[in-house]
Amino acid sequence: MSQTTATDERTGRLRGTVAGLPRDLTGSQKLMVFVLSMALSGVANLVLEIIPDVTIGPVDVSVSYFVFVPLALVALLNPFWAALGAPIGEVIFVDLLMGDFSGLAEIEGIIQMFLALYIAGSLVRNPRNRLQIAIAAVTVVVIDKALSALVDLSKVWIGVEDAEFVEGLPESILLLEGIGYAVDILMSGVLFGVIPAIWLIPALHGRIEPLLGMRPRVPGEPIQGSAPRNAMFVAIAVALSVASFLFAFLEAWDIELGVFEPEWLDTYGPGFIWVGVGAAAIAFLVGVALARLARRNAGSEN
Amino acid sequence: MTAIIELDRLSFRYPGATRDSLRNVSLSIEEGDFVAVIGGNGSGKTTLCKTFNGLVPHYWVGEFAGEARVAGLDTYDSSVAELSATVGYVYQDFQNQLVRPRVRDEVEFGPMNFGMADFAARGAEAMAMLGIDHLADRFVWQLSGGQAHLTALASVLSMRPRIIVVDEPVAEVDPAGAHALYERLTQLNRDHGITVVVIEHHAEFISQYARSVILMDDGAPVWHLPVAEAAARADELAAHGIPAPQIVDACAAAEVPGAPRTVAEAATLLRDAGVSPSAASSLREDDAGERGIAAAPRPVVAASSLSHGYRTVGGDLMPVLHDVDLTIHAGDRVALVGGNGAGKSTLMRLLGGLQVPRGGTIVLDGVDTRSAPSARLADHAAYLFQRPEQMFLKDSVRADVLLHPAGRGRDDADALVDRVLDRVRLTEFADRDGRTLSGGQQRRATLAIGLAMSPALMLADEPTASLDVASRDSVIGMLDELSDTIAAAVVATHDMHLVAEWATRVVVLEHGRIVADLTPRALFADDALLAKARLVPPQIVALGRELGIDPLPLSVAQWREAVAPIRTEALA
Amino acid sequence: MSRKTRDVLSVEWVKLELIRTAYATRGGLFARMDPRMVIGWYLLLAVAPWLTHNFTTILALFVITAASAALARVGPLVLGLFLIGFFTDFLYAFLAAWLFGGDANTAIALIEINLKLATVSLASIAAFVSLDPEKLSTGLLALGAPELLAFGVSYGYRMMPILFEEFGIVFTGLRLRSAPGARGFLGLKALWRWGTYAVQAFYPIFLNTAKSVRTTVESLETRGFTANQGRELRIARLSIGGLDVAVVAVTVMAVMTAFGLGSRWPLG
């Protein structure tokens, strides 16, 4: 720009406040972040879907997701809406369209991924700091995979507790989960997480935000829509995780218990189905509460 | 008449910007007017139009001062939703405006969102007004560019707005489509009393269709005048990047006063003034010269009995090219023309080796395209995609230009890049991301990418699409200068100015067959062929024909030569 | 090696398949039904397999959904991906059983589980492949889903082929203009190169998509998407007809027959 310091005298009456201070996003800006995150994560997953998976024995060494794509969005834009858009985009773009839709169990994945991305995005205070980005990339995979590994392990735990079972099974499951976890962190977290992200995020910083009419994230300024650091958030996160476990079990109780102890259903009766319904209710209530909270925050800041 | 849009000392600054984008704008637009908003890049045209429907300041939240009243509503105190019932907005990249799968859903989307029970009737009415009822059940991705544009227009018309804003209507549709759209807008304006605001670069459309003109410069209007008065200020317009229409230039060159709005008017004016130019003296030699170059040609790419087709959504094979034979020689500047779906892009992709034909063979620079991978063919032919942003893969123009030569391990890569960037006059922008450049600069950057590949054949898909007149002329000039570094160039284009001023050979495709292969002058003299291929010659060519000049002038420069002798006679 | 135009397993083919799937252009039984009934039908077949451990019943249920998938005219890409997933799961199951020293019973139990999963998966393919985005999002609205999700479904379906094509173009550009190289051992070098292209392609894709999303959302704003008053109008368009009732009734009967078969001739 040739003239940068031109002070223009405004003769009209100034309406509202002077801009420049970071303020909360407008409803449509949130929609924009959400839609963008949905579209990009959808494409990333679609590309991944077409690459065939490689499985060595029982250990899956494929890339579970292109972490760097949603990570770039949560690190640069509003983490809440970007983190919400990414897993929903995956479900809509890939799972529904490709017939990979597993019904209510999808909600487990959405909650886990949302939590992982939301927390990771809030960790990146300076999008040009490669260390912060690397930590955030690994955090996504650690949180997401830890939650699902916990689900897997507890499935076995429940299955083993009252079944006459093969010696050493828990150990081997633990070993397999451990190897799977390590492979995931290496492949998804580092190879397709840290390495692309430390290049992509600084490259996009300051370039993508103006396209959306937003201010780039500046170190030192509070991040809009970042995860609150208080007990309330931790409580909600834990509640969400528990709800996601229950969703996982809705699918899993049959797999584990059904296989090894078919008379299980007779023992507990079909009433156990209500556990699933309860899980759905919890997740729904938490979702409503979150939406309320977000709306109230938006209302109070405007 | 009453004012429907009134702006009073309006200022606006985007968040994070260092300067106001609109500065103390005071303006009023009468109901029923047909207004063209003109001005250079960054003059605030689009921002101005976004204040009409409240996107500024409700969507783009920045500092907002002054008052804007639209149909009596203060935009600051009302919402985008309220204003949308009065103002409809059609975007330049209208394809992104279409969010629903079928045309009918798209058109009914607005009324339905606002909870209007008569949404179906409104949708049907809007489609009928634009004559696209027959498209109602089509999927939006099946539409041609022109049809998609009309759909976007219908989708705002269904709200029964009193004002319609159309951002650069000509940018992404072919000339015939652009005229059709303007005819529809004129009809809406005349028969339904809708106020139309267009952002437009092309003087010929402004003078033909608009009633008044607002010239924007640096965030404020310079003036708002009736179209005849505006057209008379040709010098001022030219200074703001809006060259006068060719026919106005033509009259000025012949020293005939007046600003004709159509070619017929111009011809009458000139005839009445007794101007009857004969052919420019240089033209015959020119023709001879062209033939001289073509005397001992080396074939750069040769296609023989080419046929190709695509699978459709229904699973059938849709033939696109039938039995095409085409040889392009060194020194050729070929323009591929023809309507949408004639097979231009397909032929270009095949020639460049991006795809291989289903039938027939292509020998590119001595290599059969079937025998080599496309990455190796990229050393022989550079293919420039239609949308420049698809070619900006790196974070700076320099990195993009460097990608190919550095990848091929050329030692002189850096020097080559410097030379190429200098050639397209982009050295000072070399470190910026290509997407942040203006339209004309983006095209020149893609040319630089192509040049740095040192190809024998350069293929460009619509290199002048969506450019304003000045940028278009600079791209044409650049293509002209570059002809010495590449053996041959082929462009697929709708732009008849490019055909007239740059090409030495025109290949007309229709339904996948070559129906003509001739010089531009021969093309513009053939009425039947023009009609068949849906082409509209540039104004200066049409004027030449109207006045019976032979050979036809293809540019204003040639016209000047043609009228120069008369002027000297008159003076003597 | 000579190049030729491929009709399958190319970028163009994937794009076409996406469009065909997304817009249910193959027709099929469920495409003509009310979306709420299709979702209901799906839930019926998604839940039924979990209520039994009778191998006969599970097999019968699998046959029902396989027939439904045939009636829904599921395309080759989706079916192919499903089959690949299905068979690798089977292999994995056998391998796991063998590793943990399981016997024939364990194997049968694992087959049973995989059949159940395949049944649910096929039902979801048959149902969701048949619903065009408009119908699906209206159906979701009618069932009380948030407006944002309903829009996301419809927008996602529309944009995906476009975005995928854009990705293809950018990827081609990178392939043509980047440094060529050897294939390497087992094509590993080529694989690595393609991996880096896939990652690099996201830089332009991010920026280009951001630009088009801006226009989309602005236009949504001006056309009242956020005004959010159209829910009832949209839902009012749905109607449950004879076909819907018939299909669901036939399915319910088929499922009951499956359970009946299971109790009379149990297999495991």
A contact test, residue of C10, C16, C17, C50 with most A CBs within 10 A: C50
Map out the domains of chain B with their CATH numbers: 3-238 (3.40.50.300), 245-275+538-572 (no CATH), 289-535 (3.40.50.300)
A40/C205 Cβ within 8 A: yes
Looking at chain B from residue 32 to 61, which residues have their Cβ under 8 Å from any Cβ of chain C? 53, 55, 59
Rounded to whole angstroms, the Cα distance separating A243 from C195 reads 36
Q: What average pLDDT does this structure show over C229-241?
A: 80
For residue B559, the Cα-to-chain-centroid distance in whole angstroms is 24
Give which of B335, B307, B294 is closest to B460, Cα–Cα: B335
The chains found to touch B (3+ Cβ pairs under 8 angstroms) are: A, C
The residue among B393, B352, B391 whose CA lies nearest residue B374 is: B352
User: Which of A62, A66, A101, A214 to mutate to test binding with chain C, by most C CBs within 10 Å of its CB?
Assistant: A101
User: pLDDT-based confidence at A253, cuts 50/70/90?
Assistant: very low
- Residue C50, amino acid: W
A2: contact with B, CB 8 A cutoff: no
What average pLDDT is seen over chain C?
80
Instruction: Choose the closest CB to C213 out of A35, A42, A58.
Output: A35
Q: Tell the residue number behind the tokens 């087992």, with chain if given.
A: C186
A26 part of contact set with chain B, CB < 8 Å: yes
Closest Cβ–Cβ partner in A6, A14, A213 for B15? A213
0.80 exceeded by pTM: yes
In DSSP notation, A76-121 reads HS-HHHHHHHHHHHIIIIIIITTT---TTHHHHHHHHHHHHHHHHH
Please tell me the distance from the alpha carbon of residue A218 to that of residue A128, in angstroms, as a whole number: 10
Residue of B nearest to C162 (CA): B141
Listed in sequence order, the residues at least 6 apart from A110 whose beta carbon sits closer than 8 Å to its beta carbon are A87, A88, A91
Whole-Å CA distances, C156 to A88, B358, C203: 10, 33, 20
Closest chain C residue by Cα to residue A196: C199
Rounded Cα–Cα distance for residues B165 and B90 (Å): 6
Interface test with B, best of C176, C200, C237 (most B CBs within 10 A): C176
Q: pLDDT at residue B478 above 60?
A: yes
Verify whether the Cβ–Cβ distance B112 to C134 is below 8 Å: no
A window 186-245, beta carbon within 8 A of B: 203, 207, 210, 213-216
Give the per-residue pLDDT at A229.
Answer: 67
Q: What is the mean pLDDT of residues B82-101?
A: 88
Instruction: Give mean pLDDT, residues C164-191.
Output: 83
- Flag if A213 and B57 touch (Cβ within 8 Å): no
**CB atoms A203 and C46 under 8 Å:** no
Q: At what angle do helices B263-272 and B246-253 cross, to 10 degrees?
A: 10
Q: Is residue A167 within 8 angstroms of chain B, CB to CB?
A: no
Query: What does residue A56 show for φ and ψ, rounded to 5 degrees?
Result: -105, 110
CA distance A77 to chain C (A): 12
**Is residue B5 classed as helix, strand or coil in its secondary structure?**
strand
- ipTM exceeds 0.85: no
Does the pLDDT value for residue B364 go beyond 60? yes
Which of B96, B454, B457 is the mutation pick for testing C, counting most C CBs within 10 A? B96
Tell me, yes or no, if C78 comes closer than 8 A to chain A by beta carbon: yes
Interface chains of chain A (3 or more CB pairs under 8 Å): B, C
A8 touches B at CB < 8 Å: yes
**Residue contacts between A and B (CB atoms, under 8 Å):** 73
What mean pLDDT value characterizes chain A?
A: 70
Which residues from C are below 8 Å from B376, CB to CB? 180
In A52-91, the residues whose Cβ lies within 8 Å of chain B are: none
B20/A19 Cβ within 8 A: no
Q: How many A-C residue pairs are in contact by the CB < 8 A criterion?
A: 162
Nearest-CA neighbor of B299 among B274, B322, B329? Answer: B329
Q: Determine the residue among A13, A24, A214 to mutate to test chain B binding: the one whose Cβ has the most chain B Cβ atoms within 10 Å.
A: A13
pLDDT band at residue A291, thresholds of 50, 70 and 90?
A: low
Which residues, listed in sequence order, are joined to residue A217 by a DSSP beta bridge?
Answer: none
**Cα A240 from Cα A111, distance rounded (Å):** 7
> Which position has the token pair 């359970």?
C259
Position A249 scores a pLDDT of: 55
* pLDDT level of residue B302 (50, 70, 90 thresholds): very high
Contacts of C78 in chain A (CB under 8 A): 97-99
Q: Please give, one letter per residue, the 3-state secondary structure of B286-300.
A: HHHHHHHHCCCCCEE
Q: Which of B53, B375, B378 sits opposite C222 (nearest CB)?
A: B53
The pLDDT confidence band at residue B303, using thresholds 50, 70 and 90, is: very high
User: Cα separations (Å) of B17 from B12, B24, B436, B556, C208?
Assistant: 10, 17, 15, 41, 22
Question: Which H or E run includes B563?
Answer: helix B556-571
Q: Please check whether residue A247 lies inside any domain of the structure.
A: no
Closest Cα in chain C to A270:
C51
Which residue in C139, C217, C232, C218 sits closest to B113, CA to CA?
A: C232
Q: Is residue A93 part of a domain?
A: yes
Contact C209 A40 (CB under 8 A): yes
Q: For residue range A9-59, list pLDDT tens digits in order.
A: 788 888 776 544 445 667 778 888 988 999 999 889 888 877 655 555 455
Neighbours of A161 (CB within 10 A): 8
Q: Which amino acid is at B342?
A: A
Which of A14, A18, A203 lies closest to B395 in CB terms? A203
| Beta-ladder partners of B10 | B25
Q: Is B128 on the interface with C (CB under 8 A)?
A: no
Alpha carbon of A27: minimum distance to chain B alpha carbons (Å): 9
Q: Which domain holds residue A217?
A: 27-46+54-226
Q: Do C159 and A203 touch (CB under 8 A)?
A: no
Looking up residue A66, the CATH number of its domain turns out to be 1.10.1760
B368's tokens: 């059969």
Is A140 part of a structural domain of the chain? yes
Neighbours of C181 (CB within 10 A): 12
What is the domain count for chain A?
1
Q: Which of B218-222, B226-230, C238-242 has the lowest mean pLDDT?
A: C238-242
Tokens 């009309």 sit at which residue? B150
Whole-number pLDDT of residue A59: 55
Task: Name the token pair of A189.
Answer: 């977290």
Other CB atoms within 10 Å distance of the CB of residue A212: 18
Contact C152 A57 (CB under 8 A): no
Cβ of B115 within 8 Å of Cβ of C174? The answer is no
Task: Please tell me if residue B394 touches chain A, with a CB cutoff of 8 Å.
Answer: no
pLDDT higher than 90, residue A292: no
10 Å CB burial of residue B123 (0-12, 13-18, 19+) is: buried
Neighbours of C264 (CB within 10 A): 8
Provide the pLDDT for residue C102.
62
Contact C3 B99 (CB under 8 A): no
Domain ranges of chain C: 26-131+239-268
Which of B393, B408, B459 to mutate to test binding with chain C, by most C CBs within 10 Å of its CB? B393
Q: Which residues of C touch B93 (CB under 8 A)?
A: 211-212, 215
Instruction: Using a pLDDT cut of 90, give the percent of chain B over it.
Output: 39
C265 lies within 8 A of chain A by CB? no
Distance CA(C200)–CA(A240), nearest Å, equals: 35
Q: Does residue A299 register a pLDDT over 50? A: no
Question: Which region among A24-38, A101-115, C42-56 has the lowest average model confidence (pLDDT)?
Answer: A101-115
Kindly report the average pLDDT of chain B as a whole number.
86
Question: Which 140-159 residues of chain A touch chain B by CB within 8 A?
Answer: none
pLDDT in the model for residue B168? 85
pLDDT band with cut points at 50, 70 and 90 for residue A273: very low
Q: Report the pLDDT value the prediction gives residue B186, as an integer from 0 to 100.
A: 95
* Largest interatomic CA distance in chain C: 67
- The two most distant CA atoms of chain B are separated, in Å, by 75
C18 close contact with A: CB closer than 8 A:
yes
Highest-pLDDT range among A70-74, A241-245, B89-93, B317-321: A70-74
Residue A103 lies in a domain: yes
Residue A132: per-residue pLDDT: 92
Rounded CA-CA distance A24/A295 in Å is 11
- Amino acid identity of residue B360, one-letter, is G
Distance CA A71, CA A168 (A): 39
For residue C35, give the nearest of C248, C253, C251, C254 by alpha carbon: C248
Q: How many CA atoms lie within 13 A of B559 on its CB side?
A: 28
A32 contact residues in B (CB cutoff 8 A)? none
Range list of β-strands (E), chain A: 14-15, 55-56, 59-60
Helix, strand and coil in chain A, % to nearest 5: 70, 0, 30
The CA distance from A39 to A208, in Å, is 15
Q: How far is residue C219's CA from residue A31's CA, in Å, rounded to a whole number? A: 12
What gap in Å lies between CA B393 and CA C174, rounded to an integer?
A: 7
C-chain residues within 8 Å CB-CB of B453?
Answer: 177
